[in-house]
Structure 1
Amino acid sequence: MDISVLIDEVIAREGGYSDHPADRGGPTHFGITQAVARANGYSGHMKALPRPMAEAIYRQLYWESPGYGFVAEIAPLIAAELFDTGVNMGTATATGFLQRALNALNRNQKDYPDLKVDRAVGAKTLAALGAFMRLRGKQGEAVLLKATEALQGERYLSLAESRPANEAFLYGWLANRIG
């Protein structure tokens, strides 16, 4: 799993500078919001955000800090999905989707114990993922991916239903973020 490739893909999907009036995130560049850029030391205009800085932010905040590199060692497709979902919805939300899916797929705790959905990758989440992958293999990884994407899709629909301005983004979210 090459995080550089994932970063390139997310930047290509996110595009360049944007300041959509319905986007609560405000100005973004390469998918990095102004608030995130500021929190990571960038003080210039968002149109001028250097790509290497965006790449460093993606690597640190959306791969290393949440522990998705450890997930990649067990289930690379899941790690890639967590990274992309984390960029779009936050890593806690993405990790919560994984934990919920693992709980629902453990056959009433016959395969491994339920996880506390604490929205953080830790030893128990990695152990449950490892147990799932040993039992289910690559086909299981594809099923787990579908389960996390289903949760993601439901969240997108809920966001659009709860805030009509989000309908401006729903089609793109579903077209570009799921599957």
Structure 2
Amino acid sequence: MENWKELAAFVLEREGGYCNRKADKGGPTNKGVTLTTYRSVYGQSKTVDDLKRITDAEWEYIFKRYYWDKCKADYIQDKSVAFILVDWAYNSGVKTAVTHLQRIVGTTADGIMGKQTLQAVNTRSPLPLFGALKQDRIDFYKEIAAKNPSQKVFLKGWLNRVSHFAYGKFV
């Protein structure tokens, strides 16, 4: 399935280029890839300058293998559900996004997308599942900002990103 390329374009458009904001717990980041993630994939000797020069091929590899594939998005029958899940995983970590999904569908919340979770996802009515994921993601971001005032600076951007997801399309 080539749906990952459609979502990848959306993600890249929103992530932008290099940044290293003091309040961002991810530290140095380019195209949404943190230095920690970049090093875990391409070696601990990679520097901030290497991250600044991340190639499209390197970025696509990370996005596809470490986010799309970890969420088993090719096996999620509904594209809208797959897209909002993977975007959440890219923005907050696979374990976080999958754990929230598992709580919604009633499977063991271990953060690992397995057969039981996939079956539960694929047997749910997709529109209500999409809506539940979207609302849970909104609540998740609001809770982060409420618990840690230093993160409030990001809340508007996080919520704006989620608002671009509508069932059946990006807006």
Question: Aligning the two structures, in what range does the TM-score lie when normalised by the shorter sequence?
Answer: 0.7 to 0.9
Identity, % of aligned positions: 29
CA RMSD of aligned residues (A): 1.4
Amino acid at match of 1:14: E
Higher Cα Rg, which structure:
1
Q: Could you tell me how far apart the structure 2 residues matched to 1:152 and 1:39 are? A: 26
For structure 2, the residue ranges without an aligned partner over 5 or more in a row are: 166-171
Q: CA deviation at 1:65?
A: 2.6
For structure 1, the residue ranges without an aligned partner over 5 or more in a row are: 104-114, 133-139
Cα offsets for 1:60-103 (capped at 9, x unmatched) = 000113312211xx221111111100001111111122222223
Structure 2 match to 1:75: 78
The answer as to whether partners of 1:18 and 1:28 remain within 8 angstroms in 2 is: yes
3-state SS of paired residue (1:40): helix
Structure 2 match to 1:38: 39
Aligned residue pairs, count: 159
Structure 2 match to 1:15: 16
Cα offsets for 1:112-163 (capped at 9, x unmatched) = xxx222222111112222322xxxxxxx312111101111111111111111
Amino acid at match of 1:92: K
The answer as to whether partners of 2:89 and 2:96 remain within 8 angstroms in 1 is: yes
The answer to whether residue 80 in structure 2 is matched with residue 98 in structure 1 is no
Structure 1 match to 2:150: 165
The answer as to whether partners of 2:141 and 2:158 remain within 8 angstroms in 1 is: yes
Structure 2 match to 1:108: none
Q: CA deviation at 1:52?
A: 1.5
Amino acid at match of 2:63: Y
Q: CA deviation at 1:48?
A: 1.3
Q: Could you tell me how far apart the structure 1 residues matched to 2:9 and 2:23 are? A: 26
Q: Could you tell me how far apart the structure 1 residues matched to 2:150 and 2:121 are? A: 36
The answer to whether residue 133 in structure 2 is matched with residue 128 in structure 1 is no
Query: After alignment, is 39-48 or 140-149 more displaced?
Result: 39-48
Segments ≥4 residues shifted beyond 6 Å: none
Amino acid at match of 2:118: L
The answer as to whether partners of 2:14 and 2:161 remain within 8 angstroms in 1 is: yes
Q: Could you tell me how far apart the structure 2 residues matched to 1:82 and 1:176 are? A: 13
